[in-house]
Chains A and B, each alone.
Chain A
């Protein structure tokens, strides 16, 4: 089995798996980073979203081979203390219900805010519409993104 060297949350890791293995399962089953979740396995729901070189990416559709030379960030590495402005805003707005989709939602939102410090509602729609939430936390997600944006602007 080929060996791959990955940079995950700033740390180098090596794994031996088939080259077409989705990054999602390497993160979860080989590296024990279980904050990233599986839901559809086909790029349809956004639950498995991580950052590849800062870009929000579906880890269920990304092969390990493709991810090898890029910086991988998961929910565990988004902030040192779990208090990225997006995470703080999520707490303040009481966003999660079952919580299952929230790692993906937060990773997508954090990527949006890095690009766009003052997103409008329609910017939020465009960025977030591929992230499903069966508990229907969308309204609070929207509010929390505005709140996080404000905090980030204030610095």
Chain B
């Protein structure tokens, strides 16, 4: 049954038609937050955030306000509109919205939220456009609207088989009032949603024509790179650029907000210049900070009570009354994003305007920052969002955009700024280091009676990167408990608390954020409890998920598809985990072998329930991607601190997973017509615990620290 939806007064719609340009429909569909929406409503009643342009040549341009960083928004978002509108997919063109304070709603791209938050607004927009075109055709034919239907970008009158393409209806549709009510399709009626529609950006990404910020070329442009203070909290004391200025092509070296800029005729000249500048840094208070000091600080903070994020029953009492108490400490290190495209940005600052090309996940913020740096009004700052060469949360920070704007302003020329890989790796906003203290209680039947989990980690939200130790007030950072406080397991007594442990190291949103560490600790510990209870890890979890059908559903599916109840091939061992994040439920089974400390992951079976699947191929790709990204953090690199700086600098000491280390990955999608939920991140958290639990099955050794270093394990 089709679902009726009301286009409320809050859903402002603006229809316009210009001679020859066809029909442009802009919808202002408010955010979920009613208060916020109401606030925007009163001031900005005609700033649509969904744009559909029907051109007279029958092509349709759909504007996407979110950044494309590989997750497929330039395909999945248009698919949603196109389906409700009954468009001919081959006529759909996709355009990327530039930054605008409010025209495209929030353009912040992260938290796996594009599809899940835009699902309803985009469908309403598509359905309204379709309804207006249908109305326009029926009036032209002077027939009853109920005798007409839409298909492949045209309205058809069923009795007479007359047909009018959308492009021929734009002028008349533009004159119609916006319908007060439209019906949305039911899942069975979808013709595009749920299909493996090829990504719209693939052709450009296989012939080298896809434009990344690094590929922008504007007349008169020069090149620049930066040198940042390697010590967090340190600053520039003095520099001598004489040697650098002798290098051919180096044009200028000067101080900027965050260190030094080297401007040159080519990228290479700027890189050469960068190496030749003699710099003296003021190390500040952090010059002797290192990983072992940070660990000690975390250990000492872990001994004190934290801010409570979840409390059910009385965990302390239940623990004291339990037949068996298990406890364990888990640790996860800092991680770098290491997008393959280092930070880069093109900026052209003039007296009266500023143009920027930036691969950013937060375009509106970048635009605002640029307005501040240049002193220009925001409408004079044009910010074009290019393709992102990977995002994963790194590009929700716009430090590189600010650099480019600052440099261009100073030299009054357009500039292409590119950070060297070394600067990219040493000046990231890292996944926070973390320490997890867990205790569990079992009764004499092996039932879990209590679980406590203390998360000790720097807070992203409340962080300050200035001094160490950073003074802070104890606060509950709920984000830091994501994936710890919301365990789905039916345990009567639970206590989850958070102990803030800020350091001078900048921390930020690293793909799946705290869910990555919290899932590792929780899902490995649940395995420890299963062992203590002498139960099968899958059966044990399933029992505890009796009230959580969607968690149990994916767990079941992954177990079944992996052949959990059958013997693995000789020498192989399986581990299982399940974790819900960003609205989606994911379970994974990893199959590993361990021979003389050589750990190999051979196969990963992944089941996901993300509600209605918009594009199965994209969902599967995101699962594969999250698993590989998570495996790098499970098996390969970590970020450590020495003398106040990041010890790693490039892919030799921060290795990433390679093709020969990549397991066979099978992804199974739960068939569902629930509203869609996130896919960019949820595939990541379960992989580390699935692998660690498989290592236990193979070797009897518990992995309680990432990345896994088999040789370093006790008893190894």
Q: Which residues of A contact B (CB under 8 A)?
A: 1, 17-18, 21-22, 25, 28-30, 32-42, 44-45, 47, 74-76, 78-79, 82, 87, 90-91, 94-103, 106, 124-126, 128-142
Contacts and interface: CB of A to CB of B under 8 A. Distances in A.
A147 to B, nearest CB: 13
**In the A-B complex, the 6 residue pairs with the closest CB atoms:** A35-B208, A136-B628, A99-B205, A100-B389, A97-B70, A98-B70
B445 interface: no
Interface in B89-114: none
Identify the interface centre among B205, B420, B624, B656: most chain A CB within 10 Å of its CB: B205
B657 A94 contact: no
Given A28-B267, A29-B223, A134-B629, 8 more contacts: A18-B248, A32-B217, A79-B207, A91-B203, A98-B69, A100-B341, A133-B340, A136-B626
A79 B207 CA distance: 9
A34 B341 CA distance: 13
14 contacts: A21-B268, A28-B214, A28-B267, A38-B267, A40-B421, A40-B650, A47-B340, A74-B208, A75-B207, A79-B207, A96-B199, A129-B660, A137-B624, A140-B621
Given A36-B208, A134-B656, A136-B657, A29 B267 contact: yes
Contact of B624 (A1, A41, A140): A140
Nearest to A24: B268
A94 B202 contact: yes
Contacts of B338: 134
Contacts of B258: none
B664 A139 contact: yes
A99 B629 contact: no
Contacts, number: 178
A142 B664 CA distance: 10
B210 interface: yes
A41 B201 contact: no
B243 to A, nearest CB: 16
B388 interface: yes
- Name A's interface SS: loop
A98 B387 contact: yes
Interface of B: 69-72, 196, 198-199, 201-210, 212, 214-215, 217, 223, 248, 266-268, 271, 338-342, 387-392, 418, 420-421, 617-618, 621, 624-629, 650-652, 656-660, 662, 664-665
A37 B625 contact: no
- Name B's interface SS: loop
Contacts of B621: 94, 97, 137, 140
Contacts of A128: 659-660
Contacts of B268: 17, 21-22, 25, 29
Contacts of B624: 136-137, 139-140
Contacts of A138: 628, 657-659, 662
Contacts of B391: 98
Given A41-B271, A99-B201, A136 B651 contact: no
Contacts of A32: 217
A30 B628 CA distance: 36
Contacts of B271: 41
A126 B661 CA distance: 11
Nearest to B271: A41
A64 B163 CA distance: 61
Contact of B266 (A30, A82, A130, A134): A30
B389 A44 contact: no
Contacts of B660: 125-126, 128-129
Contacts of A131: 659
A36 B208 CA distance: 7
Nearest to B631: A136
Nearest to A90: B206
B425 to A, nearest CB: 10
Contact of B214 (A38, A102, A103): A38
Nearest to A106: B206
A34 B248 contact: no
Contact of B650 (A30, A42, A124, A139): A42
B202 A134 contact: no
A47 B390 CA distance: 13
A75 B418 CA distance: 22
Nearest to B223: A29
A126 B659 CA distance: 9
B341 A94 contact: no
B4 to A, nearest CB: 36
A100 B420 CA distance: 16
Contacts of B659: 124-125, 128-129, 131, 133, 138, 141-142
Contacts of A132: 340, 651, 656, 658
A98 B339 CA distance: 10
